[in-house]
Amino acid sequence: MLGLMQNQPLMISSLIEHANRHHGEEEIVSRRVEGDIHRTSYRQVAQRARQVAHALDALKLAFGDRVATLAWNGYRHLELYFGVSGTGRVLHTLNPRLHPDQIAWIANHAQDQVLCFDMTFLPIIKAIQGKATSIRHFVALCDADKLPADTGIAGLTSYEAWIAPHPTTYAWPDFDENSASSMCYTSGTTGNPKAALYSHRSTILHAFAGSMPDALNLSARDSVLPVVPMFHVNAWGLPYAGAMTGAKMVFPGPAMDGKSIFELIESEKVTFAAGVPTVWQMMLAHMQAGNLRFSTLRRTVIGGSACPPAMITAFNDDYGVEVLHAWGMTEMSPLGTVCTLKNKHLDLSPDDKMKVRLKQGRGLYGVDMKIVDPDGKELPWDGRTFGDLLVRGPWIIRDYFNAEGPSPLVDGWFPTGDVATIDADGYMQITDRSKDVIKSGGEWISSIDVENIAVAHPGVAMAACIGIKHPKWDERPIIAVVRKPGAQVSREELLAFYEGKIAKWQIPDDVVFVDAIPLGGTGKMQKTKLREQLRDYVLPGV
């Protein structure tokens, strides 16, 4: 017997219409490429998203056709989020930090028909023109009078001229909620990039789950700053969760430096911010140098790579900001776990509380997790035993878009490529990415643990731990370190700093000082590049 409830498909267009009706006055603030601060509202975003819908119809795009963006976080990008998906076309967010050849490859693979870009990225457009052969229309996200006459791009229009002729009303269609809504390619550290293809249903369920109190705890009283880019995994779903909850949204545009981010937090009374550790490192350095304080920021979600304890302490103790350590992947929309405490943790000593906060957290409702040994046998949730982490749930991929080869699933579970422990309370902790784990004398060393200790040293700005081949031990860890400006920390001093903090055999064999650690398109340390740079390196005594 079926239930007798209305079977309303979960549509992304309903998010912006909800925001329009219930939070129409709420502000959407963007720092623009031009450098100025732009203000609009959910009401205007809804109207302009409807104009985008008409503009796409006028191009005669088919249902499911891909409309790409190459854009910073900003209001026009937000309008495209709703306008494109709302009509049943697929929003494809391209990552401008990739090499133009890779962007062209991705655009061809996705068969993008339209590309909307911020003027910052004009050089990329020029580089891929003629290579990205499926793109028929280029739209520059600017006013008509900001469009240079001599771009050399055939048929280029400005976004404002493109949408202006169209009405601000539109009848959003209802269709199967499992239809594709947006897509994002993984960074492709191994082989060609692969695309996660999200659906209306997966996106809305993810927004519900992500807004919950023990997840990001978003509300209409929040002012939300996604520093995480809208060009990678939908800025962790915040544009959708923002519309669902009616939160004020604050977009940083291209200005990601510590000073600009801090100023935006203060001027827009931001209460909640989201970013990867490298972004916060820059902001904390700016604040420490100027002895600055936040007036409104309460929570910050940090993920994408492990959040070092020194950062959690700085936010919490020095600035009174709660850090929500979170974990996820492109393939998971991306939220998988968020670390919020249970009642039983509230009375713990600061050290023991920190041990919980360093974990990546508990699975959201909707995300199932397990850890397995190399034979696929499930391992206990004891907080010590580590194994390959597998996940399943309604916002986790079952396959990649137009993939060659079989589905990545193993008995219905998606292998994350991460190695983790899970404790009896369900808190998951990443030990490493499986390809970064260091195997020494038959034991595993967590590169994250080794890095966390190094960055706790006051003279260290950034640190990456990699394994180096060893004739006896298989591999031994070394740590590549970028010193803070003006810091003098020596190899001996840093190695001594490890004493008593981890087991002796886990202490790196050497410290290599470098000017910079290579970062990838999403701000993560690229250990493959670092290994290449250090390929002639020889361990001491070998």
> Residue from 87, 187, 202, 245 that binds ligand ADP (CB under 6 A)?
187
Q: Which residues lie closer than 8 Å to 255 by C-beta, 6 or more apart? A: 31, 35, 261, 264
Q: Residue 28 is inside which H or E element, if any?
A: strand 27-31
Q: Which of 15, 224, 279, 430 binds ligand ADP (CB under 6 A)?
A: 430
Q: How far apart are CA 217 and CA 189, in angstroms?
A: 32
Q: By rule CB under 6 A, what string of x and - marks binding of each residue 444-483 to ligand ADP? A: ----------------------------------------
Minimum CB separation from ligand ADP for residue 255, in Å?
22
Inter-residue contact 453 to 501 (CB < 8 Å): yes
Name the minimum Å distance from CB 174 to ligand ADP.
31
Do residues 85 and 175 lie in contact, with contact meaning Cβ atoms separated by under 8 Å? Answer: no
Specify the DSSP class assigned to residue 67: E
For residues 246 and 361, which CB has a smaller minimum distance to ligand ADP in the complex? 361
- The single residue among 74, 237, 239, 303 that binds ligand ADP, judged by CB under 6 A, is 303
CB atoms within 10 A of CB 294: 18
For tokens 């929309």, name the residue: 333
CB of residue 96 to ligand ADP, shortest distance in Å: 14
> Quick check: 217 and 247 in contact, CB under 8 A?
no
| Minimal distance, residue 299 CB to ligand ADP, in Å | 15
Catalytic residue among 27, 444, 524, 529: 444
Interface residue with ligand ADP, options 73, 182, 186, 340 (CB under 6 A): 186
* Annotation says 186 is catalytic: yes
275 binds ligand ADP (CB under 6 A): no
CB nearer to ligand ADP: give 49 or 419: 419
Separation CA 172–CA 179 (nearest Å): 14
- For ligand ADP, the closer CB: 116 or 358: 358
Among 141, 314, 329, 419, binds ligand ADP (CB under 6 A): 329
- Alpha carbon 386 to its chain centroid, in Å, reads 25
- For 148, the token pair is 């240079």
> Contact between 211 and ligand ADP (CB under 6 A)?
no
Residues of this chain, 308-327, that bind ligand ADP according to CB under 6 A? 325-327
In the numeric block, the tokens 């076309």 are attached to 89
Verify binding: residue 182, ligand ADP, rule CB under 6 A. Answer: no
Catalytic, 451? Answer: no
Residue 131 is a binding residue for ligand ADP (CB under 6 A): no
Q: Return d(Cα 463, Cα 240) in angstroms, integer.
A: 34
60 is catalytic: no
Within 488-527, the residues that bind ligand ADP by CB under 6 A are 522, 524
Structure tokens at 268: 């827009």
Catalytic, out of 40, 87, 93, 186: 186
> Directed axis angle between helix 12-23 and helix 75-86, to 10°?
130
Burial call 477-503: b when 16+ CB within 10 Å, e when fewer: bbbbbbbeeeeebeeeebeebbeeebe
Crossing angle for the helix pair 42-58 and 12-23, to the nearest 10 degrees? 140
Return the range that interacts with ligand ADP (CB under 6 A); candidates 103-111, 411-419, 488-496, 511-519.
411-419
Measured from the CB atom, the residue of 98 and 116 that comes closer to ligand ADP is 98
The answer to whether residues 511 and 462 touch, using CB atoms and an 8 Å cutoff, is: no
> Is 172 a catalytic site residue?
no
Does 387 engage in binding with ligand ADP (CB under 6 A)?
no
Between the CA atoms of 430, 435, 438 and 439, what dihedral angle is there, to the nearest 10 degrees? 110
Closer to ligand ADP by CB, 26 or 331: give it: 331
The torsion of the CA quartet 164, 169, 174, 179, rounded to 10 degrees, works out to 20
Q: Should residue 216 be labelled a site residue for ligand ADP when binding is judged by CB under 6 A? A: no
Tell me if 330 contacts ligand ADP by CB under 6 A: yes
CB of 123 to ligand ADP, least distance (A): 23
Q: What is the DSSP letter of 501?
A: T
**Within 331-370, which residues bind ligand ADP (CB under 6 A)?**
334, 360
| Active-site residue, from 126, 435, 439, 501 | 439
Q: Which residues are catalytic?
A: 186, 331, 439, 444
- Residues at the site binding ligand ADP, with contacts judged by CB under 6 A: 186-187, 189, 303-306, 325-327, 329-330, 334, 360, 416-418, 430, 433, 522, 524
